[in-house]
Amino acid sequence: MKRQTVTAATVSPSRAVPPHIVCPEYAHTAVPAPYKLSCIKVKVDQIGRMRKACRFAREVLDLVLAAVRPGVTTDELDQIAHQHIIALGAYPSPLNYMGFPKSICTSVNEVVVHGIPDNRRLVEGDIINCDVTVYAHGMHGDCSETIFVGEVDALAKKLVQVTWECLLRAIDVVRPGNKLNAIGLAVEAHARQNGFSIVREFSGHGIGENFHMAPYVAHFYEPDNTTQIVEGMTFTIEPMINVGTAECVIWPDKWTAVTADLRRSAQFEHTLLVTADGVEILTGGREPWFLRQDNRNP
């Protein structure tokens, strides 16, 4: 049976945040603090708090991924995440970030990024990226994984596997002394070798006391981006890899980005801390879920 394309469905009202939760600066205004291109903040005293925020994000992402199965709606996944984030005493960073209406992003099949949870039910054969960011202890932690809904076709499996490998290869080059453009070089080489394309309009980003801050982290090779990677930087790497064209189209909701040819897209994301001799994966866990699914998803 031919796969149906994803269409806009019904979005439930934004979920409430109780008054005891400490909110980021945009929670009531929708306007984030200006992205400070000029200054890449190196974390020293914030590292402990960053570790906690990232550990929370990982815990919530695992809970969401455990709930993925045919028949579940993406709104139900949002509900699970929202409830648990509040229970942790944290704030779901996407909520009202530039007006985003929900607490996580759920991007199914040809949705590249920023899918809004709604009442669409997952169906066997879908792939879905769940992207969780939490604000806790004054810091943001951001991670995402793509997983299978039941049994998926061979090309979808290859796409998800290669996208995961792109993230691993990129993380491998993160160490002081290397340049930021080594990341895009690693992602681009591996994606191209496998016949896939790399989305250019969304990037990795510095993260910490703000959700998105300098540095900008491209997932394709940028010869001129010779910024040095230095100890104490915290940023994400989050390659979006497509089966077909790299081009994206944004839906009228101004958030949902889909591939222009409606072929599939996958993504993985970690928040990283640059250490003296390498990298600490702040949102790391066990192996990714798709590798554990082993074709046994109920």
- Contact residues toward ligand MF3 (CB under 6 A) are 94, 97-98, 100, 105, 114, 131, 133, 142, 238, 255, 269
Asked if 236 is part of the footprint of Co ion (rule: CB under 5 A), the reply reads yes
User: 190 or 219, CB closer to ligand MF3?
Assistant: 219
For Co ion, which is the closer residue by CB, 110 or 131? 131
Helix axes 154-172, 181-193, angle to 10 degrees: 150
Nearer to ligand MF3, 100 or 135 (CB): 100
Question: What is the residue-wise DSSP string for 46-88?
Answer: THHHHHHHHHHHHHHHHHHHHT--TT-BHHHHHHHHHHHHHHT
- At its nearest, how many Å lie between ligand MF3 and the CB of residue 281? 15
Distance CA 143, CA 228 (A): 23
Nearer to Co ion, 143 or 258 (CB): 143
User: Mapping DSSP to helix (H, G, I), strand (E, B) and coil, where does residue 208 land?
Assistant: coil
Give the other-Cβ count within 10 Å of 63's Cβ: 17
Name the binder of 94 from Co ion, ligand MF3, none, CB < 5-8 A by kind. Answer: ligand MF3
User: Could you give the C-alpha distances from 110 to 12, 88, 190, 196, 267, in angstroms and in order?
Assistant: 22, 32, 21, 14, 11
Q: Which CB atom, from 146 or from 297, has the smaller least distance to Co ion? A: 146
Residues 6+ apart with CB under 8 A from 84: 59, 60, 63
Rounded Cα distance, 157 and 161, in Å: 6
Buried b (16+ CB within 10 A) or exposed e, 142-161: bbbbbbbbbebeeebbebbe
Choices 81-89, 114-122, 143-151, 258-266 (CB under 5 A): range interacting with Co ion: 143-151
Residue 288: cis peptide before it, omega within 30 degrees of 0 = no
Binding site partner of 22, from Co ion, ligand MF3, none, Cβ cut-off 5-8 A by kind: none
Beta strand pairing status for 139-148 and 234-237? unpaired
46 lies in the site for Co ion, by CB under 5 A: no
Using CB positions, name the residue nearest to ligand MF3.
94
Enter the tokens of residue 189.
């080489």
The entry of ligand MF3, Co ion, none near residue 155 (CB within 5 to 8 angstroms by kind) is none
Work out what residue 58 binds among Co ion, ligand MF3, none; the CB cut-off runs from 5 to 8 Å by kind: none
Looking only at residues 261 through 280 of this chain, which bind Co ion when binding is defined by CB under 5 A? 269
**Applying CB under 5 A, which of residues 118, 142, 145, 165 lies at the interface with Co ion?**
142
Task: Give the phi and the psi of residue 111 in degrees, each rounded to 5.
Answer: -75, 120
Report the partner that residue 148 touches, choosing among ligand MF3, Co ion, none (CB closer than 5 to 8 A by kind). Answer: none
**Can you say whether the dihedral through the CA atoms of 212, 272, 297, 78 is positive or negative?**
negative
Q: Residue 142 or 145: which CB sits closer to Co ion?
A: 142
CB atoms within 10 A of CB 125: 17
Closest CB to ligand MF3 among residues 152, 241: 241
Shortest CB 50 distance to ligand MF3, Å: 16
Rounded to a whole number of angstroms, the minimum distance from the CB of residue 237 to Co ion is 9
Q: Identify what 114 binds: ligand MF3, Co ion, none; CB under 5 to 8 Å per kind.
A: ligand MF3
Residues in contact with Co ion, shown as a per-residue x/- string from 114 to 133 under the rule CB under 5 A: -----------------x--
Binding site for Co ion (CB under 5 A): 131, 142, 144, 236, 269
